[in-house]
Amino acid sequence: MARRGKKKGRPLSGWLVLDKPAGMGSTEAVSKVKWLYKAQKAGHAGTLDPLASGMLPIALGEATKTVPYVMEGAKVYRFTIAWGEERTTDDLEGPVVRSSDRRPSEEEIRALLPRYTGIIMQTPPQFSAVKVDGERAYDLAREGETVEIAAREVEIGRLELVAVPEPGRAVLEVECGKGTYVRSLARDMGRDLGCYGHVADLRRTEVYPFEARHLVTMQALEEAAQNAASEEERFAALDAFLMDIAAALEGLPEVALSDEAASRLRLGNPVIVRGRDAPVEAPEAWASARGRLVAIGAVEAGMFKPKRVFGV
C-alpha cells in the first residue's frame, strides 16, 4: 500500500497582516510569504487588485480554517477617483471608453454620498472574479466579450469625502461589507455626476478584526530573513510578526475549558460549558484551553458542540 507523502515545509500556524505593495497580485503575495516562512499551507482573506495596496490578511497553517470569519468582516478603503474618464477595468489599467470635460464640485460630490450609503444594488466590474456561466468575468473580458453581470446587494456602512486635491480628483474613504467593489463605486458615481470616473489609487486600510497597527510590510519580512545569522534566527524573526489564530475570532464569545474537556473536544465530543460568564446559547463561539484555540462550534443548552477542531 502506498504511503502518504510527508508534507513539505514548517507546520506553523498564525495570521500575517501583510501590507501588500501596489503592483503585486494577491496570489503572488501569498506565495512569497509561504516561501519566506517555508510554511506547509497558506491562504488569504479577501483578494486585492494588483494595482491596489494595503491590508491582505494571510493565514498560515491551521489559521486557514478561520479565513471565512475574516472574509465576513467589514473592510475600509481609501481611494482616489479620477473624473472625466470611464475605463473598461474601472481603474487605470484599462483603455478609456467614455470621457467628459465636466468636473463635479465638492458640494455635488457630498450631496451624492447618501445615495451610496446603506444597502445598495451594485453591478461588479467586467474585469472581476465574479463567475458568469462557470467562467470568471475577467477571463471573458480579456477575450473581448461583454458579459451581463447581475447587480447584487452590498452594504456600505460609511462613505466620506476626505479631500479634493484638484478639480479632476476626489479622495474618499469607504467602510463596506463583503462583495463590495470600490471600482464600481467610482464608475457609478461618475455616471451619476455626469462626468464619468475611475479609480486612480486604492488602498485597503482595515479588514475587521485587524487594524492598521497590525500591518507588516514585505520589506520588513525580507530584511528580517536577510539579517538573520542562521535559519533558526531567521524563522524566529519572521515568526515574531505572526498573530495568534484566535485573533480572527474577536467577534465571537470565548469558552474557556479545562485540559480534560479540551481533549474530549479535540476528539469531536461535545462538552459541558462551565463558569459564571459562560454562554448558555451561542450560534458560534470558540473554545480555548490555557489561552490556546481548541475548536470553533456552537453552544446549545449549555453544551459546546465542535464544528472545527484545531490541532495547535
Cα–Cα distance measured from residue 262 to residue 35, given in angstroms and rounded to the nearest whole number: 33
Which pLDDT score is estimated for 128?
Answer: 57
Looking at residue 274, its pLDDT comes to 82
**pLDDT tens over the chain, length 312 residues:** 555 556 788 999 999 999 999 999 999 999 999 999 999 999 999 889 888 999 999 999 999 999 999 999 999 999 999 999 999 999 998 999 999 999 999 999 999 999 999 999 998 887 656 565 565 655 655 656 667 778 899 999 999 999 999 999 999 999 999 999 999 999 999 999 999 999 999 999 999 999 999 999 999 999 999 999 999 999 999 999 999 999 999 989 999 999 999 999 999 999 999 877 778 889 999 999 998 999 999 999 899 999 999 975
Cβ atoms of 154 and 177 within 8 Å: the answer is yes
Instruction: List Cα–Cα distances, 27 to 20, 89, 188, in angstroms.
Output: 11, 19, 28
Q: What is the pLDDT of residue 145?
A: 62
Interior CA angle at 138 toward 130 and 93, to 5°? 125
Residue 151's pLDDT is 87
- What pLDDT is attached to residue 7? 72
* The CATH homologous superfamily of the domain defined by 14-72+210-245: Pseudouridine synthase (3.30.2350.10)
The predicted structure's pLDDT at residue 276: 74
User: Which DSSP string corresponds to 100-144?
Assistant: -S----HHHHHHHGGGGSEEEEEPPPSSSS-EETTEEHHHHHHTT
Q: Is 11 in contact with 61 (CB distance < 8 Å)?
A: yes
Domains 14-72+210-245 and 75-207 in one fold: yes
CATH architecture of residue range(s) 75-207: 2-Layer Sandwich (3.30)
**Cα–Cα distance measured from residue 283 to residue 193, given in angstroms and rounded to the nearest whole number:** 44
Catalytic residues: 49
**Within a 13 Å sphere around the CA of 19, how many CA atoms are in the beta-carbon half?**
14
The correct CATH number of 252-309 out of 3.40.50.720, 3.40.640.10, 2.30.130.10, 3.40.1190.20 is 2.30.130.10
Domain residue limits, the chain: 14-72+210-245, 75-207, 252-309
